[in-house]
Amino acid sequence: MNFSLTSDQQAHVDTVARFVRQEILPQVMALEKSHAFPWEILQKAWQIGILNLSIPESIRGFEVDVISTALIIEALSYGDTGISTSAMCNDLANTVIARHGTHEQKEAFLRPFVEQPLLAAFCLTEPGAGSDNAAMTTFIKKGVDGAYLLNGTKCFITNASYASQFTVFCKVGKPASQFMACVIVPCTPTLPETLDPDLSEDRQISCEKGGNISIGRPEDKLGQRLSNTASVTFEDVLIEPFQIIGDRRQGFKYIVDVLDYARPMVAAIGVGLARRALDVTLNYTKQRRQFGQRICDLPVARETLVAMWKKVELARLALMQAAAKVKEMAPDQGLYASLAKNTAAEAALFCTTEGLHLHGGYGFMSEYEISKLSRDAHIIDIYEGVREVQNMIIGREIL
Instruction: State whether 134 and 214 are in the same domain.
Output: yes
Instruction: State whether 99 and 159 are in the same domain.
Output: no
**CA dist., res. 363 & res. 355, Å (int):** 8
Instruction: State whether 11 and 63 are in the same domain.
Output: yes
The confidence score (pLDDT) of residue 357 equals 98
Last residue of a domain, one of 220, 248, 276: 248
Instruction: State whether 70 and 123 are in the same domain.
Output: no
Instruction: State whether 38 and 99 are in the same domain.
Output: yes
Give the number of domains in the chain: 3
pTM: 0.95
SS (H, E, C) the chain: CCCCCCHHHHHHHHHHHHHHHHHHCCCHHHHHHHCCCCHHHHHHHHHCCCCCCCCCHHHHCCCCCHHHHHHHHHHHHCCCHHHHHHHHHHHHHHHHHHHHCCHHHHHHHCHHHHHCCCEEEEECCECCECCCHHHCCCEEEECHHHCEEEEEEEEEEECHHHEEEEEEEEEECCCCCCCEEEEEEEECCCCHHHCCCCCCCCEEEEECCCCEEEECCCCCCCCCCCCCEEEEEEEEEEECHHHECCCCCCHHHHHHHHHHHHHHHHHHHHHHHHHHHHHHHHHHHHHCEECCEEHHHCHHHHHHHHHHHHHHHHHHHHHHHHHHHHHCCCCCHHHHHHHHHHHHHHHHHHHHHHHHHHHHHHHHCCCCHHHHHHHHHHHHCCCCCCHHHHHHHHHHHHC
Last residue of a domain, one of 69, 90, 114: 114
The confidence score (pLDDT) of residue 219 equals 94
- Residue 1: inside a domain: no
Last residue of a domain, one of 114, 142, 159: 114
Q: Say if CB 346 and CB 311 are below 8 A apart.
A: yes
Rg of the chain over all Cα atoms, to the nearest angstrom = 21
The confidence score (pLDDT) of residue 3 equals 76
- Least Cα distance to 143 among 206, 209, 205 occurs for 209
The confidence score (pLDDT) of residue 35 equals 87
Residues of the chain falling short of pLDDT 50: none
- Residue 124: inside a domain: yes
The residue type found at 264 is P
Instruction: State whether 257 and 240 are in the same domain.
Output: no
The confidence score (pLDDT) of residue 335 equals 96
- Residue 2: inside a domain: no
**CA dist., res. 93 & res. 168, Å (int):** 9
Instruction: State whether 83 and 218 are in the same domain.
Output: no
Name the residue range of residue 237's domain.
119-248
Instruction: State whether 164 and 123 are in the same domain.
Output: yes
Residue in 74, 384, 388, 397 annotated catalytic? 384
**CA dist., res. 25 & res. 22, Å (int):** 7
Q: What is the CATH number of the domain that holds 42?
A: 1.10.540.10
Instruction: State whether 221 and 283 are in the same domain.
Output: no
Instruction: State whether 157 and 268 are in the same domain.
Output: no
Is residue 63 flagged as an active site residue? no
- Residue 28: inside a domain: yes
| Residues 6 or more apart whose Cβ sits within 8 Å of residue 271 | 74, 77, 312, 315, 316, 319, 344, 347, 348
